[in-house]
Amino acid sequence: MSEEAEPTPITPAKRSAKEHPQALISKFWQKFHHKNPGKITSIFPRDLYKTVAPNLAPPSIGVRNAAQSYEIARSKCLEMVRKAVARCESTNSKFIDQEFEIESDHYTWTHHCLRGLKSDDFYYVPGSVHRVSWIFDNPQFTVDGFSGSDIKQGYLGNCWWLAAIGNIAHRKDLMKKICVARDEECGIYGFVFFKDGEWIPTIIDDNLYLEEKDYGKDEEVYDVTGKKAKQWKKNKQTGSEALAFASCADENETWLPLLEKAFAKVHGDYEALIGGCVGGGVEDMTGGVSSMILTTSILRKEKLWRELLQADQDDGEFVFGLSPSYSPWVGDQNGIVLGHAYSIIRAVEITDEKENKIKLVKIRNPWGETSRGEGEWHGPWSDGSKEWTGEMLKKLRHEFGDDGVWWMTLDDMLQNFQRIYRTRLFDARWTVAQQWTSLPISWVAGYHKTKFVITVQEEGLAVIVLSKLDERYFSTLAGPYDFAMNFIILPSGSDEPIGEAHYSKLDSNDRSASCEIFLQPGKYDVIPRVVAEHSALPPVEDIVKEYSTANPLKLQQKGLLYDIAHAKVGVLDEDEVYSKKQQEEKEKAKAKKKKEKAEDAEKNQMRQAMEQMTSAMAAMQVELDKEKSKEEEEKKDKEKTKEGEKKSGNASKDEKKEGDSDSKATLSSGEKAAPSAADNEGGKKKEKEEKEEEKEKKEEEDKEEEEPSKEEEQDKDEEKEDEDDDEDEDEDEDDSDDSDDSDDDDNEGRLPWNAVCVAGLRVYSEDKNISVEVVQSEE
């Protein structure tokens, strides 16, 4: 026996010998999570709309938009068509949709109407663009009404949406609800669609993509008469077959390609329609609620059959779609293309010639034909199978043909398809209440502390839907997290759930979870459980930074769709929160500066007072010194005078006696004695000191007069500084933003966990007073 190779030993990571293992794991999770969690709710903050007129600004920066009823959307659509027709009449020109102008977009090779913001997989480019009146010889919006048999898929992977249209095309009431108004002469068509619990209107022009280029676009040609160009147009650019994307089976019918174009417009481009599930498509067209049923988990087939029988009824409550399993190694199974979407257009229980009752289902492939033998069922009751007789063909009004339509038994359908998409429709009897909120999602999944509270006043059936925003409208900006929706229902005050809904990874319609439940009057708590996982998309801020220069026009379009989607009542407006925080910080900084200035002014006043006091004390000291000096000088003068008198008295004592008689005679006659030299000198000094004192007093008075003017200058300087506060603060903010421009990733390159889901709860009920409110967590 050969010796087995010894496994390479794994070198353990270096660990701290000082820290406790619990401290290490706690530090890891602290770093794992974002320090300031939140969600971007505005790609374009309010500051970017400063120069935009208020009436032209998008809804996301005005009043937060509320839920719109169908009638409001329909009225808006009618008004949009009316105004567009009036503009066409005034300019004598057909309508050109400036918001979705595929003609100039195509011929300038910008392809903003064709591709998304970050297009990696969609490379198809149609050959040309022309108006309906140029393409069709006798264009008609419908020929013999709407029909699922009209539908043919083109060069776009939107089978899910076409299958959804196939489910409802026979319902005149539903199709009329979608196709609101048109003016075929002006080339204007108005439609409404259901998006995130609201009906939205849109209008388009009648330019459509064609598969082939115009004659002579690839090479120089000589065609003076135009005969070759006319022949080229007739063979390659005329009728439904010439269209690049979805088309009607009739060569002159136009409703489907125009409806597809309108649906592409509201999503921003045609690429946004690639991939999806049939149930989601029916929701978008009808406002219904879709749920996925695994064919292997059906509890009661009879209940399902009773609902299937309504598929082709004009007033039916349900429509259905199908999807088989997917395999990367197998393209089809018994003719059914895997990973594809199909429509159930009829269900019937019929008795054959042997008196056997058979449950049959009529199914349609949106391709409208087979491809290399794939696309239609090859088993029992398929076209040309032995089960068909002349009588059965007549009973079921069926014709063989390569049209993508076939019949099969209910059991075969359940065996060959993995998922059934069941959509409940709502008429005027139903009332809907809804609320939206922002939910921060922990890395450890669990039931959220924020809950929805439903108040029921009349007993009856309730359809409850927990959904996230439809990310198809802004897919590239969806962010680095995928969210799966789940919830439970409890009577308020109880811990026992009475209903629940869960997301299945087999369900491609991951935007919602729903359940149907019979409720008695009372209050009920709906507690969401949203599970978040990292997706393959980069953070929103990275996409914005990259495409603000790489593809700014497309970013403007998709960013606006993002902002409008997040502009819902109840959803935390992060831009508003950030603006308020900035304003509060500004006010704090301003108040701090004012306080510092006041303190500085107070200190200056104290300093000036101290200086004045010091000066006064110095002046007093000078005066005291002068007085002292003066007294000392006077004392010395007196002493000198006394000594002089003493000396002169001794020397002339005798002379004085002799002259007494003469002195007395002189004094008596009014004559005064002359002052001595010492007396003259003392008087001059005194006079000089008095002059110096007057000079010093004058200087002090002048100084006091100058001080108020300095204070006034200081006040003016402070006022000027106050005016410059805002500019200084703005500069500080800009500097701080520039310095903190890097992502706060950890050492292993992971983004800090920061999952926030915008979630909404809709409740449909025949109780007209039903209501929903959000009860936020106290944390």
| 104 pLDDT above the threshold of 50 | yes
Mind spelling out the 3-state secondary structure of 627-656?
HHHHHHHHHHHHHHHHHHHHHHHHHCHHHH
pLDDT tens-digit map of 49-76: 666 554 444 443 333 333 347 889 999 9
CA dist 345 and 357 (Å) reads 20
Coil, strand or helix at 510: coil
The pLDDT value given to residue 69: 73
Catalytic residue among 170, 340, 448, 566: 340
Q: What mean pLDDT comes out for the span 207-226? A: 90
- Residue 671: what pLDDT? 43
Q: What confidence category does residue 664 fall into, taking pLDDT thresholds of 50, 70 and 90? A: very low
Residue 179 falls in the annotated catalytic set: no
Closest CA to 291 of 519, 512, 529: 512
In sequence order, which residues have a C-beta less than 8 Å from that of residue 735 and are 6 or more positions away? none
| Coil/strand/helix, residue 431 | strand
Task: Name the one residue in this structure whose structure tokens are 């539903």.
Answer: 174
> For residue 154, is pLDDT > 70?
yes
Lowest mean pLDDT among 142-156, 276-290, 316-330: 316-330
Is 113 one of the catalytic residues?
Answer: no
Residue 130 falls in the annotated catalytic set: no
Q: Could you tell me the pLDDT band of residue 158, with boundaries at 50, 70 and 90?
A: very high
Choice among 158, 207, 365, 509 that is catalytic: 365
What percent of the chain has pLDDT above 90?
56
Per-residue pLDDT of 449-461, as tens digits, reads 999 999 999 999 9
For residue 200, what pLDDT band results from cuts at 50, 70 and 90? very high
When pLDDT is averaged across residues 697-707 and rounded to a whole number, the result is 55
User: What does pTM read for this prediction?
Assistant: 0.80
Is pLDDT at 101 greater than 60 in this prediction? Answer: yes
pLDDT of res. 37:
83
What is the edge-to-edge ordering of all strands in the sheet holding 451-456? Answer: 499-501, 481-491, 522-534, 451-456, 771-775
Q: pLDDT at position 189, please?
A: 98
Judged on CB neighbours under 10 Å (0-12, 13-18, 19+), 749 is: exposed
pLDDT at 48: 76
pLDDT of residue 672: 42
62-66, 520-524, 538-542, 546-550: range with lowest mean pLDDT: 62-66
pLDDT tens for 268-283 read: 999 999 999 999 999 9
Select the more confidently predicted residue: 624 or 549: 549
Which of these ranges, 46-50, 147-151, 204-208, has the smallest mean pLDDT?
46-50
Residues 173-181 have a mean pLDDT of 94
Q: Which of 77, 88, 113, 159 is catalytic?
A: 159
Rounded average pLDDT over 478-496: 95
**Would you list the DSSP string of 363-396?**
EE-TTSS-BTTBSS--STTSTT-TT--HHHHHHH
For residue 694, give the DSSP letter: H
Q: Is the dihedral of CA 704, 708, 709, 710 positive or negative?
A: positive
Half-sphere exposure of 739 (CA within 13 A, CB side): 6
Predicted local distance difference test score (pLDDT) of residue 738:
43
What local confidence, expressed as pLDDT, does residue 623 receive? 83
- Provide the pLDDT confidence category of residue 723 given band limits of 50, 70 and 90: low
What average pLDDT is seen over the chain? 84
Query: What are the backbone angles phi and psi of residue 756, rounded to the nearest 5°?
Result: -130, 125
How many whole angstroms from its chain centre is CA 299? 41
> pLDDT-based confidence at 474, cuts 50/70/90?
very high
Q: Choose the most confident range, by mean pLDDT, from 333-342, 406-415, 739-748.
A: 406-415
Which pLDDT does position 65 carry in this prediction? 32
Confidence of residue 650 (pLDDT cuts 50, 70, 90): low
